[in-house]
Structure 1
Amino acid sequence: MATPVVLVAGLHGTARTATVERLLAEHPGSLAIHHDLSEVSHGLVRRSVRDATRELDTADVQLAHGCVTCTVREDLLPRLVLLAPGSTLLIVDLWDAVEPRSVAEAVDCDEAREILRLTAVLTALDAEAMPDDITRGERLSEVGKPAAAGDQRYLAEVLARQLEYPSGLVLHGGDEDDRELSRAVLAHLAPVTPIHTVDSLPVVTGAPVCTAELAERVDPATAQLPCDAETDEIVTTVWRSRRPLHPARLFEAVDELVTESVRSRGRFWLATRPGQLLAWDAVAGIVSAEDVGPWLAALPEAAWDLVSPARRLTAALDWEDPHGDRVQHLVFTGPDLDPARFHALLDSCLLTEEEEAAGLDAWARYDDPFAAILNVRENA
């Protein structure tokens, strides 16, 4: 039978290390592998392998192109395959700023499936640091945690992806108040993900996880977005509409929307781009809008067989004539957030009834400030 593999991700090294050590202690015969990427910008990665009692092996790995993808392809996967026959469990202790999705999908590949069985993707979180870190707008390079040369990602951006993708979250450290606050924050940001502690970890040697399902939970077209919720001072509000958004009015509202919320994401459409499903992603005041492909309503019906069942199901649930699956579905989370004011601001960005009645030719003439962002990505 294939050897089980668990990934442990997380910006918080102490929480991640505590989780890895607990897994090693609970599973005799298990091994942990870690790639230190602190010198990856110079093409150098230091790999270590350990068991519950000691470090068994260390080596410096030279990479032609210093990046996480190279590390996984050229060293991690071959090493896991080599270690699998003599291990009861393989634990991949990911470097601080590595997002678990790319590694999970690399491990869960056809070529290695008879040897490796991905059974859990965990993100370890420091209960004291997490609520503050999700609001921090520094780049990883500014806090000494880049995962590649020229890594321009933001700390809060990476943390959001680390806690929204995995199959389980593990809290460590802090006092009871810290853990209570962390659970409250996570209930808003990752409401469907189980939360554990280092002393009570989930089973990690059972059935394999499905990386396709994990991806569908976060991909914009199929994302399982949070619902309306209020926990003490934290508020999550969901805004939905069928009508198209006026690009200039929405662009003008962006600063207010992202500075008054900590995390927001979802899918939307602009009157000037009726065929494009656009993804909204913002955290700690940093916002991005991205074209992630066509709405199903913009495709010929014969092409629907080419998309996943989850995508077709999401479209069916959202479908309403005359716009098909085109929908505004944005979710905002923040402290003391005022849902009524957010909804009023977003409603003011929609086309009026008269503008909507004017039709596609009139919409195409609107000023579109998003073009500078979206057209660049289209041409990249």
Structure 2
Amino acid sequence: MSRSLLSAVTGNTPCVRGAVVDRLLKLSPRAVVLAVSIQAQGEGYPTVQRFLSGSGTALAGTALPGATGDPVVILRQDLLSLRRSADASHVVLAVPGDVDVLSLMVELWRPRVSSGSLGDHYDAAPLVVAVDTEAFLADIGCVHRTQLLWSGGDRGESVTRAEAAARQVEAADILVVPRPAGRAFEPGDVELIGQLNYSSLLLTSAGTDGAEGELPASLVRRLPPGADEGWRSRLEPVGPPRARRGGSGEVRTLCWRARRPLHPERLAEALAVVMSGVVRGRGHLWLCSRPDVVVAWRSAGAYLELREADRWLDEDPRCWAAASPQRRMLASWYWHDYYGERRSEITLTGVGLDQEAVRSALDKALLTDQELSLGPLGWTSIPDPLLGDIDRG
């Protein structure tokens, strides 16, 4: 039996998400839509509501019984059931904006001992994200309010609205940006969205109701085998930049790299210059105070998060086996006989960035030759105001 096609569609407003689903159904009239909503239930698992629609199933118009539990487990069961009972050739998973859709897709595709892989039953279509520019611009600068982002497990992740907006754009294989009704895009609106995810296909169209324009047939194509590995690699702390370097107008992106450790005190002093005008920043650091640890850099709006995310790969084959193919490829490309894959790489996108000032500030935060000669044992004695000093007791 041939595998069905699974599309995932989300958006930052119900209006643009629904419009894209409706237009996708014009490309695939027999598709079954599985619409999802998730509600928190105190400290326990959330309640997951699902609704079926579309002409490809006799169950159209059916609200499935609400279930409390891990959203990934519940949705996997729904998708497998649709494949068995309804024999749906194409399922559209309509995901609300409070779901970390990339993490959700990775977990849905992860093989399970009891039920195998979802890839045994479905081929993946491109992950589609619809973006209302007005809502996006309001959210990307909002760091004083938080929201729960769901993927799997018994609780969501509390993030700023700016972080949620940035993650959603970065998750897309295809970005659909409707033009606001009655007016043109504001300068830089689409440019900023496109800069945050240069590898996606960016589509613009007229009418927030989605009535104008047709979506290309590429939205319902089957991705090559291993698409889930590509999604997983985007979640790893060490990976290629997703934002486009350069830019036009006031929206610019720079990528800074270094092959020697950063001094945490000087980096802390440089942050005021580095973060000026930054809308989104992602990357990883090699801090001298933590020579074996990958420190993830993630900022959205004015909020910056630095955290210990992973360990640098060493010569232990088990470390390499656990990494994604993309991580292994990058490690081989950048491998140093003494330092291994260790390096810093940050991508910063913003409006009116002073790129020379940012690069200079970061370069000055690197260890000097004299400090570098101290070696890892000496580096760890340097105070770290960013992540705290390591307890050597």
Structure 1 residue 57 corresponds to structure 2 residue 73: no
For 2:76 and 2:245, the matched residues in 1 are separated by 41
1:369 deviation in Å? 2.1
For 1:240 and 1:27, the matched residues in 2 are separated by 44
1:156 deviation in Å? 1.5
**What is the one-letter code of the residue matched to 1:193?**
S
For 1:121 and 1:105, the matched residues in 2 are separated by 12
Q: How does 1:1-380 map to 2 (within 5 A)?
A: 1-38=2-39, 40-41=41-42, 43-51=46-54, 56-63=61-68, 65=69, 70-74=70-74, 76-84=75-83, 85-110=86-111, 111=116, 112-141=118-147, 147=150, 152-174=158-180, 177-178=184-185, 181-197=188-204, 199-201=214-216, 202-207=218-223, 210-296=227-313, 299-300=314-315, 302-303=317-318, 305-306=320-321, 307-320=323-336, 322-372=338-388
**What is the one-letter code of the residue matched to 1:71?**
P
Contact 2:243 2:349 in 1 (8 A): no
**What is the one-letter code of the residue matched to 1:312?**
R
- TM-score relative to the length of structure 1: 0.85
Contact 1:128 1:173 in 2 (8 A): no
102-111 vs 190-199, greater mean Cα deviation: 102-111
Question: 1:293/1:39 Cα in 2 relative to 1: closer, same or farther (>3 Å)?
Answer: closer
**What is the one-letter code of the residue matched to 1:337?**
L
**What is the one-letter code of the residue matched to 2:193?**
L
Structure with greater helix percent: 1
SS at match of 2:298: strand
Gaps in structure 1 of 5+ consecutive residues? 376-380
1:262 deviation in Å? 0.9
Contact 1:164 1:190 in 2 (8 A): yes
SS at match of 2:260: coil
For 2:31 and 2:390, the matched residues in 1 are separated by 46
For 1:213 and 1:371, the matched residues in 2 are separated by 30
Identity across aligned pairs (percent)?
24
SS at match of 2:142: coil
251-260 vs 14-23, greater mean Cα deviation: 251-260
For 1:283 and 1:19, the matched residues in 2 are separated by 26
Question: 1:218/1:79 Cα in 2 relative to 1: closer, same or farther (>3 Å)?
Answer: closer
1:269 deviation in Å? 0.7
Question: 1:130/1:371 Cα in 2 relative to 1: closer, same or farther (>3 Å)?
Answer: closer
**What is the one-letter code of the residue matched to 2:61?**
L
Contact 1:218 1:224 in 2 (8 A): no
- TM-score relative to the length of structure 2: 0.83
SS at match of 1:113: helix
SS at match of 1:229: coil
**What is the one-letter code of the residue matched to 1:45?**
V
1:45 deviation in Å? 3.4
For 2:36 and 2:29, the matched residues in 1 are separated by 22
For 2:329 and 2:221, the matched residues in 1 are separated by 31
**What is the one-letter code of the residue matched to 2:201?**
P
Gaps in structure 2 of 5+ consecutive residues? 205-209
Aligned residues: 364
Contact 1:217 1:224 in 2 (8 A): no
For 1:343 and 1:259, the matched residues in 2 are separated by 12
Question: 1:269/1:305 Cα in 2 relative to 1: closer, same or farther (>3 Å)?
Answer: closer
**1:187-215 deviation per Cα after TM superposition (whole angstroms, max 9, x unaligned):** 32111111124632433143456111122
For 1:101 and 1:362, the matched residues in 2 are separated by 40
Question: 1:357/1:146 Cα in 2 relative to 1: closer, same or farther (>3 Å)?
Answer: closer
For 2:98 and 2:291, the matched residues in 1 are separated by 36
For 2:390 and 2:273, the matched residues in 1 are separated by 21
268-277 vs 303-312, greater mean Cα deviation: 303-312
**1:116-144 deviation per Cα after TM superposition (whole angstroms, max 9, x unaligned):** 22222111111333234222224344xxx
